[in-house]
Amino acid sequence: MKYKGIIFDFNGTLFWDTPLHNQAWDEFLTRYKIYLTDQEKDEKIHGKTNRDILSGIFNRPIEGKELDQFIDEKESIYRQICLDINAQLAPGVTNFFNELKNDHIPVTIATASGPKNVEFFFDQFKLDKWFDYDLVVYDNGSLRSKPNPDFFTKAMEKLQLKPEDCIVFEDSYAGIAAAENARAGKIIIVNSTKNNYSKYQHDVIENFDEVDRGLVIDY
């Protein structure tokens, strides 16, 4: 079956930054004398919006100016870490992007990152070579966290495609559930952290060179 468009999660999928986010959260939370294991981070953080993450960690609603302050503090730490290591996109993905662009395949990003981080990613990785910023779905405060389908449903609307015509690339358990809940035609799991995805029936890749181009591209 041919699919008509692709929606990419970003963090942990196109940019393998899970350890960087964990490092940033560790530094941020240490300031507030809070400590999480890696398993707790998987459960409480990855794939979720900052509002839900912070409210879950502090065990109370975090809103308004306090929310903005916490987000700016944590994400500033994260962005500096990215700059310090000269971060790169996922293995094989730029070749895949170029092929999709050459064949005029509609693509976009659906990410729980906020607007400042999305702007940072566009600047650092020159994403405008492949993506239309206006089609990107990010955390603007109006969408429910994954595993709710909101981010992917909105991305499908922006691409003007039916769910069954879309491929979603994801890495987090919450994100995979969100793509399933959005009824994506195909889900491809990007194993950037050596997680165990054996409970899923979806394809799993560790390099974008492994993606079957015939799913979307005519040869």
pLDDT, tens digit, 9 for 90 and up, residues 36-56:
887 888 788 877 888 999 999
Give the residue numbers spanning the domain of 137: 5-17+89-215
- Whether the per-residue pLDDT at 219 is higher than 70: the answer is no
- 66 and 141, same domain (yes or no): no
Segment 57-82 mean pLDDT:
94
pLDDT at 39: 81
Q: Are residues 30 and 117 in the same domain?
A: no
Distances in Å between the Cα of 185 and the Cα atoms of 100, 114, 128, 213 are 18, 26, 26, 16
For residues 49 and 98, state if they share a domain: no
- 122-172 pLDDT per residue, tens: 999 999 999 999 999 999 989 999 999 999 999 999 999 999 999 999 999
Per-residue pLDDT tens digits for 8-17: 999 999 999 9
pLDDT at residue 49, as a whole number: 86
Nearest to 118 by CA among 214, 14, 10, 2: 10
Contacts 24+ apart (CB under 8 A), 33-37: 34/58
The Cα-based distances of 38 to 23, 48, 77, 81, 141 in angstroms read 10, 15, 18, 18, 26
Q: Is 80 strand, coil or helix?
A: helix
pTM recorded for the entire structure:
0.89
pLDDT tens-digit readout, 85-107:
988 999 999 999 999 999 999 99
* H, E, C per residue of 127-165: HHHCCCHHHCECCCCCCCCCCCCHHHHHHHHHHCCCHHH
Query: Region 26-45: what's the mean pLDDT?
Result: 88
Which pLDDT score is estimated for 163?
98
- Of 40, 67, 84, which residue is a domain's last? 84
Specify the pairing of strand 166-170 against strand 5-8.
parallel
Encode pLDDT of 180-215 as tens digits: 999 999 999 999 999 899 999 999 999 999 999 999
Cα 154 → chain centroid: 14
**Closest Cα partner for 192 from 8, 59, 18, 2?**
18
The domain boundary residue, chosen from 37, 55, 84 = 84
Q: How far apart are CA 194 and CA 41, in angstroms?
A: 15
The whole-angstrom separation of Cα 203 and Cα 70 is 36
Q: Are residues 154 and 98 in the same domain?
A: yes
Q: Cis (ω within 30 of 0) for the bond into 147?
A: yes
